[in-house]
């Protein structure tokens, strides 16, 4: 899992660097530069990849883990869902906002503005980073062996 999460950390850091660069202002009136198009493309790819990753976890992996691990259980009401599942929901709210903003920039409906991109990222960055670390720890050998044998873990489709 950490391999996937390290990819997301790296992609986030690259977007954050662009959003916080000293030259990062607005593209207003200048058209979209090659760099601006790259930031938009990279941001949309990041969101899409994270969405796929979470979809796979939520559909195929978490239901299996929830059978024995309280960290992945939900009562279906949201408010009492396991912390990792609540984090997914909070991350998705931020992802949707960022995706909407970047699509509008890509489509020419909005100007790419690095301080706005930074604000979009700040709205969900803390929960994303906490989640990336916490999920890896929860799925680590020390915690997993509390609930599963090695043979059972090998059969989990991860």
Sign of CA dihedral 81, 82, 86, 88: negative
Provide the residue count of the chain. 158
pLDDT, one tens digit per residue, over 85-111 is 999 999 999 999 999 999 999 999 999
Task: Give the per-residue pLDDT at 35.
Answer: 74
pLDDT, one tens digit per residue, over 130-140 is 999 999 999 99
Tell how many helices (H) and how many strands (E) occur in the chain: 7, 0
Residue 2: pLDDT band with limits 50, 70, 90: confident
């Amino acid at each position: 899992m950490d391999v996937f999460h390290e990819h997301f950390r790296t992609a986030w850091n690259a977007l954050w660097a662009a959003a916080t660069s000293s030259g990062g202002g607005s593209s207003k009136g200048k058209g979209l530069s090659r760099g601006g198009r790259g930031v938009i493309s990279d941001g949309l790819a990041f969101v899409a990849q994270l969405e796929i990753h979470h979809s796979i976890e939520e559909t195929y992996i978490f239901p299996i883990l929830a059978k024995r691990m309280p960290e992945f259980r939900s009562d279906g009401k949201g408010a009492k869902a396991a912390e990792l599942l609540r984090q997914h929901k909070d991350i998705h709210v931020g992802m949707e906002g960022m995706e909407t903003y970047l699509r509008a920039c890509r489509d020419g409906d909005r100007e790419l503005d690095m301080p706005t991109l930074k604000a979009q990222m700040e709205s969900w960055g803390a929960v994303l980073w906490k989640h990336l670390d916490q999920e890896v720890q929860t799925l680590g050998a020390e915690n997993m062996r509390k609930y599963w044998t090695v043979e059972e873990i090998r059969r989990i489709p991860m």
